[in-house]
Chains A and B, each alone.
Chain A
Amino acid sequence: MSLLKRLRDYPHILEVAYQFTERVVQRLHPLFKRIGYVQADALLRIPEKIGKGAVFNCQMCGQCTLHFTGMTCPMGCPKNLRNGPCGGVRLGGFCELDAMMKCVWVEAFERSQKMKVYGDGIFEIRPPLNHRLADSSAFINILSLQNDGMPNVWQTQTGIVHERK
């Protein structure tokens, strides 16, 4: 495993780095608005791909949730689960599809438990992937899109158990 990927075992540091980056991007929001989101996406897409690719093996889904999943990219799960793990995990916590690979969600859960800022995000329900956002900058998508056509009932709910009306 490369040195950069080994960083994933320090999720509490990574989440702070993520938080910092997100704040910087938010600060720059007026600038991105002025140059247009399309331009901003073109600007950020490549560095995002390289940076997150090197550390998290980012697949550029364009809707990053890795801070909510133990700084572990859920797109590494062969079933692309956003609310994993599935019930097929092998003995020792290995992937149903690849007995040599540790289950992404087993790692995600373990790492999330070490995180103070976003750690509880793993208990929230993540919406289905929007496949139209593939290969675009997730940071810009957060700024430019709001709920992306999902009905308002699909809000990420906080808290572990929520009583149905």
Chain B
Amino acid sequence: MNENRMNGRFESALRSGRFVVTAEVTPPDSADPEDVLKAGTILGKYADALNVTDGSGANCHISSLAACTILSNAGYDVIFQMSCRDRNRIAMQAELLGASALGLHNVLCLTGDDVTAGDHPQARRVFDFDSIQLLQTARIMRDEGIFLSGRKLSAKPKFFLGGADNPFVEPFDFRPLRLAKKIQAGAEFFQSQYCFDVERLKSHMQKVCDLGLPEKAFILIGVGPLRSEKTAKFLRTKVPGVMVPDAVVERMRKTLSEKKREEGKKICIEIIQQVMEIKGVAGIHMMAYKQEEAGAEVLEEVGLNNKEMMR
């Protein structure tokens, strides 16, 4: 084992073998640190670690690095999300070093949603790296102590590296092999896109297990409560890579409007309970944008209440 491997609470929780919960925090459109803390309060009580998104959906918010630092200083274990959309390789490596120096060791390496999805579609897309190259670069910096130029670092960064998984979009047969490729590049944990299609997930996980990947990296499955069929439609049309089956949309549509919130929670609980039974799954990743309360209630109801992690 490399001495530069970071053993934070998130990693320890995963290695302990218990079912782990992470939750997504959308950093606010604000320069007030209190607003960042507020964004993490509700789900922070339940999660082993908080993910801070990096301009998710290509929308502009306070930087992930800054928000992570604020949350980390407040006692949360955080996962710093880094997308390849906005920075070139010089900025990426600089930021990786900076993150480690600030004590942010969990890094989720993403390709990133395209600029056209967000509020600045006029922006230049960078994509100097893709997610796999970012993972490999972070691993090289950590293990070899050099920049990609070959220049030596005087102190190696510490990282626990993660990647994204999307079992719900094509090419389905390639997705498990792509995870293998990411592990080869350096991924030690995965967090998946929203799961609304458990059958698809099962067949994906079967192939993942056949490749022996859960022994090499921890896999967390993305979940989240729907507010209404409108949210479902928003997710599938406006958020790249989210698949919501028609049956789920239909179920939400048929529900009386005052019961929609409960129904959304119920669907989410059912999915979590099924996901917990799937071999090779190490935990869940709760994404409940503007639905944090409902997300927290879901976690409470399924008994995933990891309160011991706090402070």
Contact = CB atoms under 8 A, between A and B. Distances in A.
Interface of B: 2, 89, 111, 113-114, 116-117, 125, 127-133, 136, 139-140, 143-144, 146, 148-150, 164-166, 169-171, 173-174, 177-178, 180-181, 183-186, 193, 211-213, 216, 240-241, 243
A128 B149 CA distance: 12
A151 B241 contact: no
Contacts of A122: 174
Contacts of B133: 82-83, 125-128
Interface in A140-157: 149-151, 153-154, 157
Contacts of B241: 86-89, 96
A106 B180 contact: no
A81 B127 contact: yes
Nearest to A157: B184
Given A127-B133, A151-B150, A160 B177 contact: yes
Interface string A91-118: 1110011000001011001100000000
28 contacts: A80-B127, A81-B127, A82-B133, A83-B130, A83-B133, A86-B130, A86-B131, A87-B111, A87-B165, A87-B241, A89-B170, A109-B174, A110-B171, A123-B180, A126-B133, A128-B89, A128-B128, A128-B133, A128-B148, A151-B150, A153-B143, A153-B146, A157-B184, A159-B184, A160-B181, A160-B211, A161-B211, A161-B213
Interface string A61-86: 00000000000000000111111111
A37 B116 CA distance: 41
A17 to B, nearest CB: 25
A103 B130 contact: no
Given A88-B114, A109-B174, A164-B186, A83 B181 contact: yes
Contacts of B169: 87-91
A27 interface: no
A121 to B, nearest CB: 12
Contacts of A92: 170
Give the contact-size bracket for chain A. 35 or more
Given A83-B181, A125-B185, A149-B150, A96 B240 contact: yes
B28 to A, nearest CB: 25
A151 B141 CA distance: 11
Interface of A: 78-93, 96-97, 103, 105-106, 109-110, 122-123, 125-129, 149-151, 153-154, 157, 159-165
A43 B247 CA distance: 59
A163 B217 CA distance: 11
Contacts of B89: 128
Given A86-B131, A90-B169, A153-B143, 6 more contacts: A87-B166, A96-B240, A125-B136, A129-B128, A159-B184, A164-B139
Contacts of B146: 151, 153
A146 to B, nearest CB: 14
Contacts of B213: 161
Contacts of A163: 216
Contacts of A159: 184
B132 A83 contact: yes
Nearest to B130: A81
B153 to A, nearest CB: 12
A79 B125 contact: yes
Contacts of B174: 85, 105, 109, 122
Given A125-B136, A149-B149, A109 B171 contact: yes
Contacts of B117: 96
A87 B191 CA distance: 12
